[in-house]
Amino acid sequence: MPTSVHILLIPGDGIGPEVVHAAAHVLASIAPDLTFAQAEAGWDCFQRQGTALPALTLEMARQANAILFGATQSPMGETPGYNSPILSLRKELNLFANLRPARNLPDSRPEFDLLIVRENSEGLYSGRERPIPGGFIAERVVTGVASHRIAQIACEQAYVQSARTGRRPHLTIVHKANVLKKSDGLFRTNCLEVAAAYSDLLVDELLVDTAAMWLAKDPGRFDVLVTTNLFGDILSDLTAGLAGGLGLAPSANLGANGIALFEPVHGSAPDIAGQGIANPIAALRSSVMLLQHLRRMEEATRLETAINTVLQVGPHPRDMGGRATTTEVANAVKRLALA
């Protein structure tokens, strides 16, 4: 077991601190040797310090074994000097892969257990928009290098997923190469080439619109999907909806050299911030992914099993139709994980 594993908490704004502190409390209870530090980022930080992502936060992030990020609030409209911290972190730490698992709630239909692997560094998030007469052009960047490395992560994840579900390793490549012939053509070719090196991997492909239809109609047919940035963003919100909503959806951002940041998919939820009623399950599930990344499989399984029990028997928070507070849900998970 590695000694003194160091977790950096970046709680952020709104419900970010509420769910991150709840999850960190549970993590500290089930893995007491972990050490924690905390760093600032977000809108509140911007108003006090003039930057949404201080250099100190970035430095601490580079030193950490893993990062647990809450959510930050973005100001409406253009605010000079404000850049979204999560986008800056993904860029600065080169977190090129975004993993977004989704599965059905216990005892609910249809049954599914899938993972969307989203390319996180390019596509329509290139930040390149420029004026043309009468409008703007947004540049969608696709490179062979980025397509190749995301395909590799996705293939590896297909085996991890298979070990968990007992199904055959299965990768679905999602693209729009019939229209975006050159850019998505390159993405598709790279994915097919990388996947061909894995002998027992079942590989298929779908156009993104067809993939959306099948995800809505029969999500159980999928295991691991790999796609470009914006398609992955949209499809993973769709699967988050199928899986019970944003309060439940976790994610991981992976980069080279083992650097990794874990975060709930949801934002700062200003409409419920400060009331102590945010659902901590998305942050707790992100913590399961964090433990798995650290190869702490025993603790990860204990935490995941405890979360599943709470999903089944409660206590449930408000977004799941219950009345439990953030702390009550997290404490119930903690008790079960320690039992």
Q: Which residues bind Mg ion (CB under 5 A)?
A: 233
Rule CB under 6 A: which of 224-243 touch ligand NAI?
Answer: none
Query: Residue 125: which of 136, 137, 141 has the closest Cα?
Result: 141
Binding to ligand NAI by CB under 6 A, coded x per residue (else -) over 248-287, reads: ---------------x--xxxxxxx-----xx--x-----
Q: What is the DSSP letter of 317?
A: B
Binding partner of residue 206 among ligand NAI, Mg ion, none, CB under 5 to 8 Å per kind? none
Whole-number minimum distance, CB 237 to Mg ion, in Å? 5
- Joined together, the tokens standing for residue 147 give 């397509």
Catalytic option among 33, 181, 204, 209? 209
Residue 217 is a catalytic residue: no
Distance CA 206, CA 225 (A): 10
Element (H, E) at 224: strand 224-227
DSSP 229-275: HHHHHHHHHHHHHHTT-GGG-EEEEE-GGG-EEEEESS---TTTTTT
- Say if CB 228 and CB 184 are below 8 A apart: yes
Whole-number minimum distance, CB 178 to ligand NAI, in Å? 31
Binding partner of residue 282 among ligand NAI, Mg ion, none, CB under 5 to 8 Å per kind? ligand NAI
Does 57 help bind ligand NAI (rule: CB under 6 A)? Answer: no
Catalytic option among 125, 223, 319, 334? 125
Residues in contact with ligand NAI, counted by CB under 6 A, come to a total of 21
Whole-number minimum distance, CB 181 to Mg ion, in Å? 27
Residue 198 is a catalytic residue: no
Catalytic option among 176, 223, 319, 334? 176
Nearer to ligand NAI, 83 or 143 (CB): 83
Whole-number minimum distance, CB 318 to ligand NAI, in Å? 7
Residue 209 is a catalytic residue: yes
* Residue 114, phi-psi category: left (phi > 0), alpha (psi -120 to 50), beta (remainder): beta
Does 64 help bind ligand NAI (rule: CB under 6 A)? Answer: no
Q: Which residues pair with 172 in a beta bridge?
A: 204, 225
Binding to ligand NAI by CB under 6 A, coded x per residue (else -) over 8-27, reads: -------x---x--------
- Among the listed ranges 65-73, 101-109, 190-198, 220-228, the one in contact with ligand NAI (CB under 6 A) is 65-73
Binding partner of residue 272 among ligand NAI, Mg ion, none, CB under 5 to 8 Å per kind? ligand NAI
Does 71 help bind ligand NAI (rule: CB under 6 A)? Answer: yes
Residue 14 amino acid letter: G
Binding partner of residue 278 among Mg ion, ligand NAI, none, CB under 5 to 8 Å per kind? ligand NAI
Helices and strands of the chain, counted as H and E runs: 11, 12
By beta carbon distance, the residue nearest Mg ion is 233
- Say if CB 71 and CB 263 are below 8 A apart: yes
Residue 82 is a catalytic residue: no
Nearer to Mg ion, 183 or 229 (CB): 229
* Burial of residue 52, with CB atoms counted within 10 A of its CB: 0-12 exposed, 13-18 middle, 19 or more buried: buried
Nearer to Mg ion, 223 or 233 (CB): 233
Q: What is the dihedral of CA 247, 85, 156, 289, to 10 degrees?
A: -40
Characterize the bridge pairing of strands 250-254 and 260-264. Answer: antiparallel
Nearer to Mg ion, 236 or 331 (CB): 236
Nearer to ligand NAI, 205 or 237 (CB): 237
- Joined together, the tokens standing for residue 257 give 């050299």
Query: Residue 231: which of 119, 149, 155 has the closest Cα?
Result: 119
List of E strands, 268-307 = none
Catalytic residues: 125, 176, 209, 233, 237
Binding positions for ligand NAI, rule: CB under 6 A: 15, 19, 71-74, 86, 246-247, 263, 266-272, 278-279, 282, 319
